Chain A
Amino acid sequence: MQAVQIDSTSALLILCAFGVAWLAWGWYLGRKNKTLDDFALAGRNVGFALATATAMATWITSNTTLVAPQLTLQFGVWGMLGYSMAALGLLLFAPLAERIRKLMPHGFTSGDFILARYGRAAWAVFIIISLCYALGWLVSLSMAGGLLLSALSDLSYLTGMTAILLICVGYTLMGGLRAVIATDFVQSIVIIIGVVVIAVVCINTVSFETLHTELSARQPELLNLLFPAAIMFFFNNVFFGIGEIFHSNVWWSRAFAFAPGIGRRSYFTAGLLWLPIPIVTGFVALAAVTLGVVPPSPDMVGPMVAAKLLGDIGAVFVFIVVFSALASSMDSLLAATSDLLTQDVFRKLLRPDSDDMSLLKASKVIIVLLGLATWLISLPKLATLGALLNFTGAFVASTIWPIVYGIFDRRLTGKWAALAMTLGTVSGLCGYFLVGFYVAAIVSCSVSLLVCRVGLARATTLFDWQQLQEAPRVLK
């Protein structure tokens, strides 16, 4: 059976309506942006409600709405529970956010911290990892946009992917982080109402009894609590989620942007509120068997089940929910990656003497170039969203311990931090190719920890926290 599709005119109308609304709001909020701090960090004074909503909405990505059901289809209950463990990243980042804000009151990016704390070598490794991850995530988001439209409407992959990128680049460019945070608030409400409605309709249409009976008879492995690969995935995702958040400038820029005293509370609350969402989105994939939905690719199972359950109106509904999930992450990633490129590449490497206004201009140009690069890479559909996402697990998990020790322990030096990230990434990639994607983050994180522990044991000097107060600085 096929899911209901909406015609191309309706799809374009929805895109235009959202596009105009977000662009107008982005422009309105952008009028207050006078300095680089305003544009890149929303004036460094974001309150609790907006801070919590933006942390949560950014973490509800297309992957939460597309990959959580995909993983549930592949790994059963461990898939949705494992995905929800990514909330640990937000919860554990809470104390770090507080300390980051105190240690570096003038900081802009995670790269600023790594350079000031560890020096050039570790900074170079970290920037490569960060940019690989950011681009991988951006591409996975734009690919999701294309896949969503082509599956739920008559529009092509290219049209959907281009439209979502254009809208997000547009309002991020006009409003900076202020627009990103404000739209995130609305998008988080839209997404949650959407996933709740879909789950409730799913439960009403396919009762728990029918669902359990059908699964037990036709795909019992999805209910198997001792499914080895799924258990491994569960733990792998814990480290993957932590690695993603701890290293990414998306979360660091928010730590710098939130008002003093807000970071810890908002990240912790966002983590708690995010935790059940992958279970709600992933659960609907279990109904695919009963409903006879056969998705063209595993990552489309969620939207197709939802469209099947809700009919004509449902397709529009699902479209809006997934569009909001995509936009809420893509805008954050565009803003944070542009900050990283502006501060860590343009300022530190190319133009050390740039003033605030040149950096502001560079930041805007970089947002456009980033959007263009993402569009070009997304043109061919290289991999499924899950595969692309999990590939980056080997990279990001290697940064967890160097960041934790860097923030809380004065003994770890740059040499050992660089070695930990390099060896962690290499071993994680070996795990990815030799065993499977579900071990990449665990292997990477473990090797990185081992190297950091050796570094701590052999430490002879102590870092002076005062040096971070003066950051950001440029490479000499």
Chain B
Amino acid sequence: MYLSELALTLIVVLALGITVCVPLYLLLQLCLDLKGKRLW
């Protein structure tokens, strides 16, 4: 039983999509913490 091309594409594209959002999410949270003076 072998992984199909479609399944491989879906797994990688989904992982890549989530990973792209990570820096944006972290920077947004950093701004919120800075604004609320909750950084440290």
Seen from chain A, the residues whose Cβ lies within 8 Å of a Cβ on chain B are 42-43, 45-50, 52-53, 56, 76-77, 81, 84, 178, 185, 188-189, 192-193, 195-196, 199-200, 203, 208-209, 211-212, 216, 220, 223-226, 259, 273, 275-277, 279-280, 283
Contact = CB atoms under 8 A, between A and B. Distances in A.
B14 A226 contact: no
A213 to B, nearest CB: 8
A273 B1 CA distance: 30
Interface string B12-40: 10111011101101110110110000111
Given A56-B22, A208-B9, 15 more contacts: A45-B40, A46-B40, A49-B29, A49-B33, A50-B40, A52-B26, A52-B29, A185-B30, A189-B27, A199-B16, A203-B16, A212-B5, A224-B3, A280-B15, A280-B19
22 contacts: A42-B40, A48-B38, A49-B32, A49-B33, A52-B29, A76-B3, A185-B26, A188-B23, A189-B27, A192-B23, A199-B16, A199-B19, A203-B12, A208-B5, A208-B12, A223-B8, A224-B2, A226-B1, A273-B18, A275-B15, A279-B15, A280-B15
Nearest to A276: B15
B38 A196 contact: no
B29 A48 contact: yes
A50 B33 contact: yes
A442 to B, nearest CB: 23
Interface of B is mostly: helix
A52 B26 CA distance: 8
A65 to B, nearest CB: 13
A283 B30 contact: no
A220 to B, nearest CB: 6
B30 A49 contact: yes
Residue from A45, A56, A178, A192 having most chain B Cβ neighbours under 10 A = A192
